[in-house]
Structure 1
Amino acid sequence: MPEPAIFVDADACPVKDEARKVAERLGLVITYVSNGGIRPSRDPMVKVVVVPAGADAADDWIVEQAQPNDIVLTADIPLASRAIDKGCHVLGFMGKPFTPASIGMALAMRDLKQHLRETGEIQGFNPGFQPADRSAFLGALDTLGRKAKTLAGK
């Protein structure tokens, strides 16, 4: 199995620097995918891909490029589901993994919350990103990266 890579759904990612540091420490290529606004890197292990504007352009690019055992970082639950279907490891920005066992419930909760927002039952606010979330993300990505490298036989 080839060396795993990390793909970041980067448009609203609050942990870009943390992801790069973990990728660097583990010797993994990291690719930031966005609609723009990210500076290119001179580091050959850090790639920046700018996709055309569009609702799912970054998601589609990630799903097309990712291979089994790659790591996808996203808060987008439909993207997480598609990446899991490809055999990828998926981690949310707060350090919570999306797994084959948890993705169905995550999709159902997303749909329920969307319905409740549309009917005015709840407000559309997500909790703020806290320092503890950053720490949880760092630990979870390091663990996941090591697992993916082990699975690749590296």
Structure 2
Amino acid sequence: MKIWIDADACPRVIKDIVYRASARLGIPVCLVANNDLSRAHSPLVSSVRVSASDNAADDYIVEHAAPTDLVITADIPLAARIVARDGVAIDPRGDVYTEENVGERLSTRNLLNELREAGIVQGGPEPLGMTDRQKFASALDRLLTRRLKERR
């Protein structure tokens, strides 16, 4: 099992939570981004720099993540691709993407993008708050615990 992080837009505090879980459980982490990344000083944490082309990081993660891995991303199209391959993805706010919810989230995302382009809606999601961090940490712990039990 490995944890993949779509790292270009992943908040530092979320990466730190993942690094702590990785160290505690001995699970490798791979950050994928199209720019240089600072990373934790741990042999369990690696990084991959991909080209700056659209979806390069997403494509890399989809090509390399196994169904037993966990992907952390706020990118709903990437999450949809992971779920379609029977993988597990979680967003930085602690919401787990599933077959049941990813299609609806993708539709909502597309609608909001259209409304933003038309100038009807402005802005994006609220900043990550303490509740979001706690929800993420709890969801991550639950997913990793379940995955580790499945491996035994």
User: In the alignment, is residue 6 of structure 1 matched against residue 9 of structure 2?
Assistant: no
User: Highest relative contact order (Cα 8 Å, sep 6+), 1 or 2?
Assistant: 1
Give the deviation of 1:36 after TM superposition.
2.0
8 Å contact 1:74–1:91 — kept in the other structure?
A: yes
Report the AA paired with residue 45 of structure 2.
Answer: V
Aligned-partner Cα distance in 2 for 1:112–1:101: 19
Sequence identity (%): 38
2:67 counterpart residue number: 68
In structure 1, list runs of 5 or more residues that go unmatched. none
Higher deviation after alignment, 64-73 or 17-26? 17-26
> What TM-score, normalized to structure 2?
0.93
Which structure 2 residues correspond to residues 47-66 of structure 1 after superposition, within 5 A? 47-66=46-65
Q: For the aligned residues, what is the CA RMSD? A: 1.3
The more displaced of 85-94 and 36-45 is 36-45
Q: Map Cα deviations across residues 34-76 of structure 1 (whole Å, 9 max, x no partner).
A: 1123135552211111111111111000000000121000000
Matched residue type, 2:5: V
Query: For residue 91 of structure 1, what is the aligned residue in structure 2?
Result: 90
Once structures 1 and 2 are overlaid, which stretch shifts more, 87-96 or 35-44?
35-44
Pick closer, same or farther for the CA change 1:40–1:134 going to 2, 3 Å: closer
Instruction: Please show how residues 108-127 of structure 1 align to structure 2 within 5 Å.
Output: 108-127=107-126
Q: Which runs of 4+ in 1 moved over 4 A?
A: none
Q: Which amino acid aligns with 1:12?
A: A
Per the alignment, in what secondary structure is the counterpart of residue 144 of structure 2?
Answer: helix
Compute the displacement of 1:136 (Å).
0.9
Aligned length: 150
For residue 25 of structure 2, what is the aligned residue in structure 1?
26
